[in-house]
Amino acid sequence: MKVKTYLFPILVIALLSGSCNLFQSSGDQYELVVLDTLNIPFAGDIHAGTYAHHTGLIYNYQTGEYLKFDSSGNVLANNKIPIKGDSGLYYVNGLKIIENGNILAKSIRGEIGLLDDQLNLIKKANMPFPNGSLDLKRNQNAINIYKDELLLFYPGRDNKSPYDLGYYRDNFLLEKLNPSTGEATPFLKLSPESQYQESLHFEPPTALISISGNSLYFVFNKEPLISKYNLANKGAWVNSVPLESEDFVQIKGQKLPLGNDGSVLVEGEITNLFALKNGFAVVYIDGLLKEPSLDKKIPGKQLQVYNDETGWSNPIELPFNLLFLLNFEQEGQAFYGLTNPKTVPLGSNQAQVLKLQLAKN
């Protein structure tokens, strides 16, 4: 509650005054261009969303409503799926549009739903063991598909708790699910460069994954280290790239699980991860110490692109009312971001989606 109390005035000040990032990168230099604002008839909060294959999708947990739209904001389909029962999906926090137009929906209870292009639930698979991390964080990039198998972040196999010391060091990171048989097998080992290799207690993380070709990228939301794995070589670790940010705030690892010592007001967090043909992109917030120095900027979401040849781009400030990106494309291609419903005028009953593009300076 204290974080929310302090953060609200910080966000208001930032909306009024803006901020700038003085950190300079040796990679590509971009600026953000807002191409359009799409107004979509959709009431209430939005807990997950995605955009792929010229189609956007948003979801509201309280109502169980799903809405699909095109690149101009036209509604393509709208449906409600119960949040309970055999024909329902409880609190979906991961969505993935696949090439044939069908949709994967992952719930926090380990349900994996397959929706058709009209947003009807075709079938549902269940993970064979309970989720050990009931994280209610919205829009987790935690499910993907590779050669007809699903890869997802779903800790807790063998009744082990991801909150135990050394869990991610001693266990696999992901589960590989065969949707036809329901069989799940553990997959992917922790990067040797990760802080979670240490025998210390850290704040419980959430994982983000994204795939391009045979490359899988993995990151914990509270660790500024993005790891690459080769799926064509049984998920072998390739390398890890530190996020190029001087201000990413972390609660230090501790021998006893004491948590925040009061010095951190807002933790740094990676909120989106997008695999690209020659690298990846991340969206993150640097966080804020309780007593920041006078030259520290007010934190807001930033986008940074990593190219295998040129390294990190400059940090790109995103609109302060952005809730999360629905997707990200290479330079010169449009991508989409959802504005926070709480910043939309009361009574509008509309969701606002920003159509964005990066342009080289």
* 5-36 residue pLDDT tens: 333 333 333 333 333 333 344 578 999 999 99
What's the order of all strands across the beta sheet hosting 225-230? 207-212, 215-220, 225-230, 236-242
pLDDT at 26: 55
Residue 347 DSSP one-character state: T
Q: What are phi and psi of 269, to 5 degrees?
A: -155, 135
Residue whose structure tokens are 């107004």: 39
Q: How do residues 234-257 score in pLDDT, each as one tens digit?
A: 999 999 999 999 899 999 999 998
Q: How far apart are CA 88 and CA 74, in angstroms?
A: 26
Instruction: Show the 3-state SS of 136-198.
Output: CCCCCCCEEEECCEEEECCCCHHHCCCCCCCHHHHCCCEEEECCCCCCEEEECCCCCCCHHHC
The pLDDT tens digits along the chain (361 residues) read 333 333 333 333 333 333 333 334 457 899 999 999 999 999 888 999 999 999 999 999 999 999 999 999 999 999 999 998 889 999 999 999 999 999 999 999 899 999 999 999 999 999 999 999 877 778 888 899 999 899 999 999 999 999 999 999 999 999 999 988 889 999 999 999 999 999 999 988 999 999 999 999 999 999 999 999 999 999 999 999 999 998 999 999 999 988 888 889 899 999 999 999 999 999 999 999 887 666 666 778 999 999 999 999 999 999 999 999 999 988 789 999 999 988 877 667 899 999 999 998 8
Q: Is 306 exposed, middle or buried (0-12, 13-18, 19+ CB in 10 A)?
A: buried
How far apart CA 46 and CA 177 sit, in angstroms, is 27
Cα Rg of the chain (Å, integer): 20
Task: Extract the tokens encoding 66.
Answer: 């799903």
DSSP string, 269-303: EEEEEEEETTEEEEEEE--EESS--TTPPPP--EE
Tokens 């509650």, located at residue: 1
Q: Which pLDDT score, from 0 to 100, does residue 259 have?
A: 87
Torsion of CA 212, 226, 109, 134, to 10 degrees: -170
Q: Are 298 and 10 in contact (CB under 8 A)?
A: yes
